[in-house]
A = this chain, B = another copy of it.
Amino acid sequence: MGQSFILINLFGGGKGKLEKFEFWEEGYKKFVRFAHNKDFVLESGKTFGPITVAYEVYGEINKEKNNIILITHALTGDSHVAKHSEDDPKPGWWDKFVGPGKMIDTNKYFVICSNVFGGCQGTTGPSSIDPETGKPYGARFPIITIKDMVNVQKKLLEALKIDHILCVVGGSMGGMQALEWAVSYPDFMDGVINIASPLKLNAQSIAFNEVMRRAIMADPNWHGGDYYDKTGPSQGLSIARMLGMITYQSDKLMDKKFNRRMKDPVESFFESFNTEFEVESYLHYQGMKLVQRFDANTYLYLTRAMDLYDLGRTYGSEEEALRRIKAKFLLIAITSDILFPLSQMRYMRDKLLEAGVDLVYKEIESDYGHDSFLVEEEKYRNIISEFLELLYNKEMIR
* Per-position 1/0 for A290-327, Cβ under 8 A of B: 00000000001000100110100100000000000000
Pairwise interchain contact B270-A207, C-beta atoms closer than 8 A: no
Contacts of A239 in B (CB 8 A): 211, 214-215, 218, 239
Query: Lowest 4 CB-CB distances: which A-B pairs, in order?
Result: A44-B270, A203-B254, A204-B251, A203-B279
Distance between A44 CB and nearest chain B CB, rounded to angstroms: 4
Contact A215–B215 (Cβ < 8 Å):
yes
Q: Given the known A-B contacts A304-B273, A307-B277, A308-B269, are A257 and B203 also in contact in the complex, defined by CB atoms under 8 Å?
A: yes
- Closest chain-B Cβ to A40's Cβ sits at a distance in Å of 15
User: Which A220-278 residues sit within 8 Å CB-CB of chain B?
Assistant: 220, 235-236, 238-239, 242-243, 246, 249, 251-252, 254-255, 257-260, 266, 269-273, 277-278
Taking CB atoms, residues of chain B closer than 8 Å to A218 are: 215, 218-219, 235-236, 239
Return the chain B residue nearest A309 by Cβ: B260
The residue in chain B whose Cβ has the minimal distance to the Cβ of A304 is B273
A157 contacts partner chain B, Cβ-Cβ < 8 Å: no
Q: A273: which B residues are within 8 A, CB to CB?
A: 139, 143, 213, 217, 300, 304
A and B contact pairs by CB, cutoff 8 A, 30 listed? A45-B270, A46-B270, A139-B273, A142-B270, A143-B269, A201-B260, A202-B254, A203-B254, A203-B259, A203-B277, A203-B279, A204-B249, A204-B255, A206-B277, A207-B242, A207-B246, A208-B246, A210-B280, A210-B283, A211-B239, A214-B238, A214-B239, A215-B215, A215-B218, A218-B236, A220-B220, A239-B239, A266-B313, A273-B300, A338-B338
List chain B residues, Cβ under 8 A from A45.
270
Q: Which of A246, A260, A307 has the most CB of B within 10 A?
A: A260
A100 sits at the interface (CB 8 A): no
| B260 and A202 contact, CB distance less than 8 A | yes
Question: Judging by beta carbons under 8 Å apart, are B200 and A260 in contact?
Answer: yes
Residue from B203, B243, B313, B341 in contact with A258 in the complex, judged by beta carbons closer than 8 Å: B203
Contact A283 B207 (CB under 8 A): yes
Give Cα distance in the complex from A68 to B2, angstroms: 81
Whole-angstrom distance between the alpha carbons of A49 and B206 in the complex? 45
Tell me which residues across on chain B come within 8 A of A310, comparing CB atoms: 260
Residues of B within 8 Å of A266, CB to CB, are 313
Cα A249 to Cα B257 with chains together (Å): 26
In the assembled complex, the CB of A318 is this many whole angstroms from the nearest CB of chain B, namely: 11
B246 touches A204 (CB 8 A): yes
In the assembled complex, which residues on chain B have CB atoms less than 8 Å from the CB atom of A341?
A: 251
Q: Smallest CB-CB separation from A201: which chain B residue? A: B260
Contacting residue for A254 out of B207, B242, B280, CB 8 A: B207
Closest B residue by C-beta to A235: B218
Bound together, the chains give a CA A266 to CA B304 distance in angstroms of 13
Which residue of B is nearest A210, CB measured?
B280
Question: Nearest Cβ distance between residue A133 and chain B, in whole angstroms?
Answer: 19
- A203-B255, A277-B307 provided; 10 other pairs, C-beta below 8 A? A143-B272, A203-B259, A206-B260, A213-B273, A214-B238, A215-B215, A218-B236, A243-B243, A273-B300, A338-B338
Q: A119 to B161: give the CA distance in the assembly, Å.
A: 66
CA of A206 to CA of B278 in the docked complex: distance in angstroms? 10
Most buried by B among A45, A204, A341: A204
Assess A206 versus B279: contact at CB under 8 Å? Given A211-B243, A239-B215, A273-B217: yes
**Complex Cα distance A139/B313, Å?**
49
Closest Cβ–Cβ distance, residue A247 to chain B (whole Å):
10
- In the complex, which residue of chain B has the Cβ closest to the Cβ of A204? B251
Contact of A280 among B202, B206, B277 (CB under 8 A): B206
Which chain B residue shows the least CB distance to A271?
B143
